[in-house]
Amino acid sequence: MLGGELSFQFMNVMLMTLIVAPLVLWRYRRAVLVGMQHRLGASLPLPPPRAPARSAAPAFTVDVALAWEARGRRRIFIATLGAVFVPSLLLAAQYLAFSDLPLMPSHLFLSAAVTSSVAVPIYAVLTATPFWRALRLGVLALCGLAAATVVVSMLQRPFYGKAPSLDQALNFVIFFQLAAATLWLPVLLGLVIGARRVRGVAPLAFAALLVFAIAPLLGIRVTQWLFAMRWSAGWVFAGPGLDAGIVVLALPIGLLAWWRLKALARGYEAKRFSDAQLLAHSWWLLLVASHAVMLVNVHPGIVPLVQIVAVSVVAYLLFPFLLAHALSWAQRGAARPTRRTLLLLRVFGDTRRTQALFERIASRWQRFGPVTMIAAPDVVAGTVDPGDVLRFVTGNIDAGFVTSQADLTERLATMDVEPDRDGRFRINEFCCHDDTWQATVVALIERADAVVMDLRGFSAERHGCEFELKELGARLGAGRAVLVVDASTDRALLAQLAPAGRAAMPMVEVQRRNGAQADAAFAALLAAAA
């Protein structure tokens, strides 16, 4: 029954994650919105405008920066695939051994290659690859791995005294059959954790709920033990009954889940891993857990259970180690463009539009430098991190808001501007009250190397955007801000507010779901930052 219990509890964890993660994110958004509307007193004073810095020699050219990014993407894909393939070989060997199949190179490669396809979504998160491009890459990667399986099967035949034959091409079809049979559940569960709107919270909810899933399994054993003892049997019968074990374990399991959440938050704050790496570790855990549950279902018993758990734990722990070193290798060999800070400004209100721009530009910019922005409910899904979640669940979310000039100065001085181990810089979001956001925007403008302002949906009612446009014209050098517009932008009003002449800000039209226009906007930002 253990295999069935594990499967049941594992599915429960995913269903609860699907419920809990959006709920936590919704409550966090509400808390941020309430804080934004709160006033502490008088607005913080604004410093007088300073003359924009003179243009220096370009730190990089757009072509060089884009070539560096393309080279990094290729190396990251190779690094990710290698980091996944090695522990996948370990899982493949165990699967073949338990299934009484021969440990032939073609069999090992086939099983490991199917598992290694998880490298595609991991790569997509690490490089901010849009969904449809990632899907196209996934199809190509699966076809490539299937073709490599055919090649390996043909190359091994001479070593077994047989000549290669065309019938080995059927392994191409077998690869997809095995992938469909083994990956459908991990892919489905991975979509729950990796969905764009909840990926900032879902890995944390999954980690905590996975700990809680231990309670029913251990609770049954504890109940059996309590039934067998004279001093506790009466209490079990008269009190909680079959739930006795879960009652006894409720507090320890809750403390264990809380400890796990705090450990993740501390690890993130210490830059031991990035948000993308945390998501990658969660996806890999899903695959390893699915592998273990499948084998436990087919091979019951204590000895097989110990062997399955031991190999699964080793495979799971091996992946983060290999991924960190592989990503370190991917960053070598070419000089990184000079670090540049991007400030993201936008019209509040359209969450879907803002998140799309965030994925296309801000997340991609994290390869070139840190991103700063004013936090708001429309970008919470992409910026919330373990530290934010921990402050929220402890009721200390107010600690994340700028409350005074001294507080703002300290936050600016301690802003995270160094890359994580995966080479990506972090997003520094500033939560502001109604009387602190203007001073914060001004300070961020003066520290930005480039500014992108999403003015889609801009109209006369957007007073915040009017303030930001005036400050950009007064405090930022010519050509260092890029305005994103579309048909919903009030261009007549924009022409009145935006500076003209040499200080004019370039405007780029970006229609929703137009990847080419988003790429053009990104190139314009690189030119502004250079």
The residue with greater pLDDT, 511 or 196, is: 511
Are the C-beta atoms of 200 and 383 separated by less than 8 Å? yes
What residues does CATH 3.40.50 cover in the chain? 336-529
pLDDT band per the 50, 70, 90 thresholds, residue 259:
confident
Average pLDDT over every residue of 185-211: 76
State both tokens at 395: 């009721």
Asked whether the predicted pLDDT for residue 88 surpasses 60, the reply is yes
Query: If you search the block for the tokens 């190509």, which residue do you land on?
Result: 140
- 3 state DSSP class of 119: helix
Lowest mean pLDDT among 87-96, 159-168, 216-225, 377-386: 216-225
Q: Which CATH number fits domain 336-529: 3.30.70, 3.30.450, 3.40.50, 1.10.8?
A: 3.40.50
Which of 154-163, 197-206, 437-446 tops mean pLDDT? 437-446
Average pLDDT over every residue of 153-170: 86
User: What is the pLDDT at residue 16?
Assistant: 84
Asked whether the predicted pLDDT for residue 54 surpasses 60, the reply is no
- 3 state DSSP class of 433: coil
- Model confidence pLDDT, tens digit, residues 458-468: 887 776 788 88
User: What is the pLDDT at residue 321?
Assistant: 95
Q: What is the H or E stretch that residue 452 is in?
A: strand 450-454
Rounded to the nearest 10°, the torsion over CA 471, 474, 477, 482 is 40
Asked whether the predicted pLDDT for residue 340 surpasses 80, the reply is yes
- Model confidence pLDDT, tens digit, residues 359-392: 888 899 999 999 999 988 877 777 787 778 878 8
User: What is the pLDDT at residue 212?
Assistant: 74
User: What is the pLDDT at residue 92?
Assistant: 95
| Three-point CA angle 28, 121, 274, nearest 5° | 50
Asked whether the predicted pLDDT for residue 246 surpasses 90, the reply is no
- Rounded Cα–Cα distance for residues 261 and 278 (Å): 12
pLDDT band per the 50, 70, 90 thresholds, residue 175:
very high
Q: Above pLDDT 90, what percent of the chain?
A: 36
State both tokens at 450: 């480039």
The CB-based long-range contact list for 491-497 (8 Å cut-off, 24+ gap) reads 493/458, 493/459, 493/460, 494/455, 494/458, 494/469, 497/466, 497/469, 497/470
- Rounded Cα–Cα distance for residues 260 and 254 (Å): 10
The residue with greater pLDDT, 491 or 14, is: 491
| Whether pTM exceeds 0.75 | yes
State both tokens at 392: 């929220």
Asked whether the predicted pLDDT for residue 397 surpasses 60, the reply is yes
User: What is the pLDDT at residue 367?
Assistant: 93
- Rounded Cα–Cα distance for residues 275 and 278 (Å): 5
User: What is the pLDDT at residue 101?
Assistant: 85
Asked whether the predicted pLDDT for residue 14 surpasses 90, the reply is no
Q: Could you tell me which of 285, 273, 281 has the C-alpha nearest to residue 386?
A: 273
Query: Positive or negative, the Cα torsion across 483, 51, 62, 360?
Result: negative
- Rounded Cα–Cα distance for residues 528 and 141 (Å): 35
User: What is the pLDDT at residue 163?
Assistant: 83
Are the C-beta atoms of 403 and 39 separated by less than 8 Å? no
- 3 state DSSP class of 370: coil
449 burial class (0-12, 13-18, 19+ CB within 10 angstroms)? buried
- Rounded Cα–Cα distance for residues 354 and 502 (Å): 29
Asked whether the predicted pLDDT for residue 38 surpasses 90, the reply is no
User: What is the pLDDT at residue 213?
Assistant: 72
Q: Could you tell me which of 409, 388, 424 has the C-alpha nearest to residue 271?
A: 424
- Rounded Cα–Cα distance for residues 29 and 36 (Å): 11
The residues that bridge with 371 in the sheet, in sequence order, are: 342, 427
Asked whether the predicted pLDDT for residue 261 surpasses 70, the reply is yes
User: What is the pLDDT at residue 439?
Assistant: 93
Query: In this structure, what are the phi and psi dihedrals at residue 401, rounded to the nearest 5 degrees?
Result: -95, 145
Query: Positive or negative, the Cα torsion across 375, 524, 331, 199?
Result: positive
Are the C-beta atoms of 453 and 468 separated by less than 8 Å? yes
Average pLDDT over every residue of 151-157: 91
Query: If you search the block for the tokens 């995270």, which residue do you land on?
Result: 416
pLDDT band per the 50, 70, 90 thresholds, residue 2:
low
Q: Could you tell me which of 274, 198, 172, 141 has the C-alpha nearest to residue 25?
A: 198
